[in-house]
Chain A
């Protein structure tokens, strides 16, 4: 089993903790549970946001966010040149195809996939890699963490 890594994101009063036990993590669940909210936080960070809001115990990891075919085309070409990025996919139903699934399965980068089900067929992930987001509110702070689906 690979070493356990954690990705933490803090912005305003929202605190997110994603366990990256495996190379691929599928985050599933109902609408309104925070999947796209987390993705948008990481996208802002990727585009030059506050570096202190994202922490991980994974050394030298860049954050790459993908939510369209165009993103996948331009950014994954770059990712192909390195092996230490964390790639977050959202809206996978709109652009995932067998070619992209094959790339994810074979490439050593860690991937977080905000999944709603059918278009992620073919992803080689353990059953334990399927997660949901558990929310806890303490005062004005919201805590989101991944739990087994």
Chain B
């Protein structure tokens, strides 16, 4: 399920991962990156950035051989959202994610809990349930309400 939080909302006891790049980079620098070698995370890096994570944590992609700090913000946002999917208090800022990253995230949200801070219009398919301010609805209803300015 996709849980959406708007700028004007308040969430008790939340941990809001606002600066996605900084938070992700610090996670990697702190050595907390083993999870990235799992298939799900490697697939995310490939699908969003067209890049491959190597065993030594270098990244081979469009810009040649680089490192995890240079993957896109949208990719980092999805990696964090999936990594923290079991933490009910962690919300990831998705406002810098491109359309391709959002589409992948909607797809993942059909199967796992994703919590995002997002001020745009949610355009997930109806197979994705969306929770908005405590109310669960289909994605199409969420889209209709967003367009009316209700959500």
Contact A94 B18 (CB under 8 A): yes
Is B89's CB within 8 Å of the partner chain A?
no
18 chain-A/chain-B pairs, Cβ below 8 angstroms? A14-B63, A31-B75, A31-B101, A32-B49, A32-B50, A32-B72, A34-B62, A34-B63, A36-B72, A36-B73, A40-B70, A91-B21, A94-B96, A116-B98, A117-B120, A118-B120, A140-B64, A142-B62
Contact A118/B119 with A31-B49, A31-B97 known, Cβ cut-off 8 Å: yes
Is A135's CB within 8 Å of the partner chain B?
yes
**Nearest chain A residue, comparing its CB with the CB of B119:** A118
Interchain Cβ contacts within 8 Å, total number = 71
Within 8 A of B (CB), among A22-49: 29-37, 40
In the complex, which range does the number of interface residues on chain A fall in? 20 to 34
**Nearest chain B residue, comparing its CB with the CB of A38:** B63
Give A37 to B72 CA distance when docked, in angstroms: 8
Is B100's CB within 8 Å of the partner chain A?
yes
Contact B74 A119 (CB under 8 A): no
Chain B residues closer than 8 Å to A137, beta-carbon distance: 62
B98 CB, nearest partner CB in chain A, Å? 4
B44 CB, nearest partner CB in chain A, Å? 11
Contact A33/B98 with A14-B63, A118-B119 known, Cβ cut-off 8 Å: yes
Give A37 to B63 CA distance when docked, in angstroms: 9
Is B26's CB within 8 Å of the partner chain A?
no
Give A68 to B51 CA distance when docked, in angstroms: 27
Give A33 to B72 CA distance when docked, in angstroms: 8
Select which of B64, B74, B93, B119 is within 8 A of A32 by beta carbon: B74
Chain A residues closer than 8 Å to B62, beta-carbon distance: 32, 34, 135, 137, 142
Contact A119 B49 (CB under 8 A): no
Is B140's CB within 8 Å of the partner chain A?
no
Chain A residues closer than 8 Å to B71, beta-carbon distance: 32
Contact A14 B70 (CB under 8 A): no
A115 CB, nearest partner CB in chain B, Å? 10
A37 CB, nearest partner CB in chain B, Å? 6
